[in-house]
Amino acid sequence: MLVDIPLTCVLVMPPLFAKIKINLKMAGVYWREAASLILIGRSHLISRPLQHQMKGKPNIEQDYNILTLQRSSKSSFMPDAVVFPGGNFEKADHDPKWINLFENNGYPLHELTKLLRFDGPKIDFYSNMKEKNILPELAFRICALRETFEESGLLLANKNKETGGGFVSIFPLDQKDTEKWRSAVYNNPLEFINLFKYINAVPSIFNLFDWSVWLTPTTYEGMKRRFNTIFYTAFTDSQIPFSEHDEKEIQKLKV
């Protein structure tokens, strides 16, 4: 199924948690860090979304699709909601072994720092990171890619010191390996490192761009957990391939 969402709408979309009634119980709930990915790929079709609602306005041609997932109805957080892939920040995401992996593939720490950090102050989301075994800018990108792989089966990876020229690269992992490694990573996030050792590549972190940080507000009635989530945008210079949802947290995958 094609998800026809004008990109301008996606990039100004308000948080999905908006409610008017204040939930006082949530005010004292501390949040967990998380990361999410908005993956945008080319479409083989050119559609004109919402054209019938745009009287008097010029046509907007759309030649891209966006990866979204529908959460399970049994999920304890936002059941049945249509979301971007993402999830909890895990200890494995900031394991020092990631630095070794990048260095062994030709990306020394000083080069990673140059690629991921820009002149000027860091956003508070990174500055407030408690664990600093590796660059927070690297760790949260790894988190977003790991969750994307777990939930959609899409592995974003770079080989031979390629940085993608502005695009992320989807690695052609076969179905057998995809099923094997998704299960392994789901059960133990540290296995994500071993997956990249297996394919002799590194996570495609170079073209994940900071978009926004959303904190679950206290105004959402019925919400028992809060997440402070950084969202990244990423573009692939090809169609997003068909993949299978994880059958655990996700009940449907849409492109």
pLDDT score at 255: 56
Is residue 43 very low, low, confident or very high in pLDDT (cuts 50, 70, 90)? confident
Min mean pLDDT across 68-77, 155-164, 244-253 is at 244-253
Flag whether 133 is in a domain: yes
pLDDT of residue 21: 42
The per-residue pLDDT for 133 is 81
Count of domains forming the chain? 1
| Structural domain includes residue 24 | yes
Average pLDDT score over residue span 141-145: 98
Q: Calculate ∠ Cα 146-160-102, nearest 5°.
A: 50
- The dihedral through the CA atoms of 125, 126, 130, 131 has a sign that is positive
Burial class of residue 204 in the structure, from the number of CB atoms within 10 Å of its CB (0-12 exposed, 13-18 middle, 19+ buried): buried
94 inside domain = yes
Q: Give dist(CA 253, CA 216) in Å, integer.
A: 23
Per-residue pLDDT tens over the stretch 83-136: 899 999 999 999 999 999 999 999 999 999 988 887 777 778 888 776 678 999
Residue pLDDT, tens place only, 187-236: 999 999 999 999 999 999 999 999 999 988 777 665 677 889 999 999 99
* pLDDT over threshold 90, residue 28: no
Q: How many helices (H) and strands (E) does the chain have?
A: 8, 10
Q: Residue 218 contacts by C-beta under 8 Å, 6 or more apart in sequence?
A: 22, 23, 24, 26, 27, 29, 226
For 170, list phi and psi in degrees, rounded to 5: -95, 120
pLDDT at 73: 66
Residue 100 maps to a domain: yes
pLDDT at 20: 34
Dump pLDDT digits (tens) for 152-197: 999 999 987 777 678 999 999 999 999 999 999 999 999 999 999 9
Looking up tokens 């002149």 gives 119
Measure the CA–CA gap between 139 and 189, rounded to whole angstroms.
Answer: 13
CATH code of the domain in which 157 resides: 3.90.79.10
Query: Under a CB-based contact definition with an 8 Å cutoff, are residues 239 and 39 in contact?
Result: no
- What pLDDT, on a 0 to 100 scale, did the predictor assign at position 248? 54
3-state percent helix, strand, coil for the chain, nearest multiple of 5: 30, 25, 45
How far is it, in rounded angstroms, from Cα 84 to Cα 66? 9
Does position 237 have pLDDT exceeding 80, yes or no? yes
Structural domain contains residue 78: no
User: Mean pLDDT across the stretch 233-245?
Assistant: 80
Task: Give pLDDT, residue 205.
Answer: 94
Residue 70 pLDDT greater than 70, yes or no? yes
How far is the first Cα of the chain from the last one, in angstroms, to the nearest whole number? 6
In this structure, are strands 227-239 and 32-47 parallel, antiparallel, or unpaired?
parallel
* Contacts of 105 by beta carbon, 8 Å cutoff, 6+ apart: 161, 200, 201, 202
What's the whole-number mean pLDDT along residues 54-73? 69
Q: Which domain holds residue 231?
A: 19-39+85-250
Which pLDDT does position 239 carry in this prediction?
A: 85
213 lies in some domain: yes
Distance in angstroms (rounded) separating the CA atoms of residues 83 and 41: 17
Q: What is the pLDDT of residue 129?
A: 75
Residue 51 lies in a domain: no
Residue 75 lies in a domain: no
Q: Distance between CA 101 and CA 86 in Å, rounded?
A: 23
Residue 156 is classified by DSSP as B
Question: Taken in order 88, 106, 155, 47, is the CA torsion positive or negative?
Answer: positive
Greater pLDDT, 23 or 116:
116
